[in-house]
Amino acid sequence: LKRAVEVVLSLLYSDLFSVSLVLADLVLGIIIVNKVPYTEIDWIAYMQEVEGVLGGEYDYVKLEGDTGPLVYPAGFVYVFIFLRWLTDEGKNIQRAQYIFVFFHSIVVALVLACFRIVRREKSDRGSVPFWVGIILITSRRIHSIFALRLFNDCVAMVLVYFAIYLFVKRKWVAGVVMYSLATSIKMNVILFAPGLAVFLIQ
């Protein structure tokens, strides 16, 4: 019985399990896009804001959308200009949803990679319970934010978790650069700064 438990645990903490979770997340996201109605909140406004830049306007005071003036940093502008191009000038909402589903799967992969590094360094299976990975892909709220709302927070979080992954790997300079890129998408990423500062000054 002890041997059987060890085999099961080794599978649950294996690369195969992590890859399976990422693929399951991707499939679940695609199902959600096709079965659950999209809710328009900010996507159209994002497209309107970057259209002003494409039209040659660089004065933030004059850049706006239906929800008000452009309040996001330049990184947001460049990323959403690219997303606008990928989605037929922002009109192909379903394609945008698939892209954001992919973003979520990247976040899941990065978080699982961080868990595995922490567990390996601690040499303790209990350090990060395997079932936490299952919670990552079953959160209704997170799938809604990514697949059904298309918030710019999603892009910022991809970069934040990439930065965290680099920090866990002790690649501090690359991590700080990635974190800086994340703040260029949305400034709420600065909320991570106090914790990061603690590690950087140690």
Q: What is the pLDDT of residues 147-197, one digit of tens each?
A: 999 999 999 999 999 999 999 999 999 999 999 999 999 999 999 999 999
Residue-level pLDDT at 128 = 66
Q: What is the mean pLDDT of residues 110-134?
A: 74
Residue-level pLDDT at 2 = 57
Residue-level pLDDT at 133 = 77
Helix axes 2-12, 15-35, angle to 10 degrees: 50
In 3D, which of 172, 174, 171, 178 has the Cα closest to residue 197?
172
Cβ atoms 165, 130 nearer than 8 A: no
Cβ atoms 136, 112 nearer than 8 A: yes
Q: What is the mean pLDDT of residues 108-136?
A: 76
Alpha-carbon gap, residue 150 to 96, rounded angstroms: 8
> Minimum mean pLDDT among 10-19, 21-30, 80-89: which range?
10-19
Looking at the predicted structure, is the pLDDT value of residue 10 above 70?
Answer: no
Alpha-carbon gap, residue 156 to 158, rounded angstroms: 5
Residue-level pLDDT at 150 = 96
- Burial label for 125, CB within 10 Å (0-12, 13-18, 19+), is middle
Per-residue pLDDT band at 12 (split at 50, 70, 90):
low
Looking at the predicted structure, is the pLDDT value of residue 46 above 90?
Answer: yes
Looking at the predicted structure, is the pLDDT value of residue 122 above 90?
Answer: no
**Residue 65: what are its φ and ψ, rounded to 5°?**
-135, -165
Cβ atoms 151, 97 nearer than 8 A: no
Q: What are the percentages of helix, strand and coil residues in the chain, rounded to 5?
A: 75, 0, 25
In 3D, which of 69, 33, 29, 30 has the Cα closest to residue 48?
69
